[in-house]
Amino acid sequence: MLLNGKTAVISGAASQRGIGRATAQLFAEHGARVAILDLDAGASADAAKALPGDGHVGIACDVTDKSSCDAAAKAAIEAFGRVDVLVNNAGITQPLKTLDISLENWGKVIDVNLTGVLLLSQAFVPHMKEKGGGSIACMSSVSAQRGGGIFGGPHYSAAKAGVLGLAKAMAREFGPAGIRVNSVTPGLIQTDITGGKLTDEMRTDILKGIPLNRLGDAADVAKIYLFLASDLSSYVTGATIDVNGGMLI
């Protein structure tokens, strides 16, 4: 029980097979009360109800909208009294090549994956400062490190690379207030973003580049979020943790 008595807010946590949902499940199993933030109020509430233990909440939040993030923070703080952990997990991909990216594509992918991290962090940091600390974990991707992936385009790589810089800058700025900020860089994880779209041929090809010889699952990433949320990582900030089966070796 690594999160006994703690409260955590996770964005992009309603989708059934997603990393955020698996993280909410693991955090709840470890004793945390969890706020699930996602676009749809009903789906967020249902996901919260399905978690083990009591006191979880589902809150509608569009991470690209400042007033939505502020309202979600207010609701979570009111529900729990305090928020110890923020997981900036929400994200989208678009499988486009550089020359095919419109300004609209660019804006959407940057808004959800990068601006969303800024807006939700801005919404929670004043509260964390006031209560003397907290932990923020941010979702990046191997696409940031390799300059592309199978499902994310160059704008996705740029947004996820931006997350790494933003997280380090926030770690530096908020460290003196006791707030740790870290990033996670998963490889290919089987979720709705990826899973259904892989052909057998693609899978065989991908596995040649993964020393652990399997794709990741959402729980593999949830365990790293758990480490970053808990006191096990009490002296870790500004770090980037790869969860990719050895893809970058």
Number of C-beta neighbours around residue 208 at 10 A: 7
Question: For residues 222 and 23, is the Cβ–Cβ distance under 8 A?
Answer: yes
Stretch that binds ligand NAD, among 1-9, 78-86, 173-181, 186-194 (CB under 6 A): 186-194
- By CB under 6 A, is residue 14 in contact with ligand NAD? yes
225: annotated active-site residue? no
> By Cβ distance, which residue is nearest to ligand NAD?
91
Stretch that binds ligand NAD, among 17-25, 121-129, 170-178, 225-233 (CB under 6 A): 17-25
> Binding string to ligand NAD for residues 29 to 58, with x set by CB under 6 A, is what?
---------xx-------------------
4: helix, coil or strand? coil
**Nearest of 42, 39, 1 to residue 20 by alpha carbon:** 39
> Binding string to ligand NAD for residues 77 to 116, with x set by CB under 6 A, is what?
------------xxxx-------------------x----
Number of amino acids touching ligand NAD (CB under 6 A): 27
Query: Please, what's the b/e burial string for 150-182 (b: 16 or more CB within 10 A of its CB; e: otherwise)?
Result: ebbbbbbbbbbbbbbebbbebbeebeeeebbbb
Q: Report DSSP state, residue 114.
A: I
State the minimum distance, in angstroms, from the CB of residue 32 to ligand NAD.
Answer: 19
CA dihedral 186, 117, 150, 27 (to 10 degrees): 40
> Binding string to ligand NAD for residues 155 to 184, with x set by CB under 6 A, is what?
------------------------------
182: helix, coil or strand? strand
Cβ neighbourhood burial of 17 (10 Å; 0-12, 13-18, 19+): middle
Binding residue (CB under 6 A) for ligand NAD from 8, 9, 19, 128:
19
- By CB under 6 A, is residue 154 in contact with ligand NAD? no
Nearer to ligand NAD among residue 63 and residue 76 (C-beta): 63
CA separation, residue 81 to residues 3, 92, 128, 131, 235 (Å) = 16, 31, 12, 10, 25
Question: For residues 224 and 22, is the Cβ–Cβ distance under 8 A?
Answer: no
Known catalytic residues?
A: 156
Residues interacting with ligand NAD, by CB under 6 A?
11-12, 14-15, 18-20, 38-39, 61-64, 89-92, 112, 139, 141, 186, 188-189, 191-194
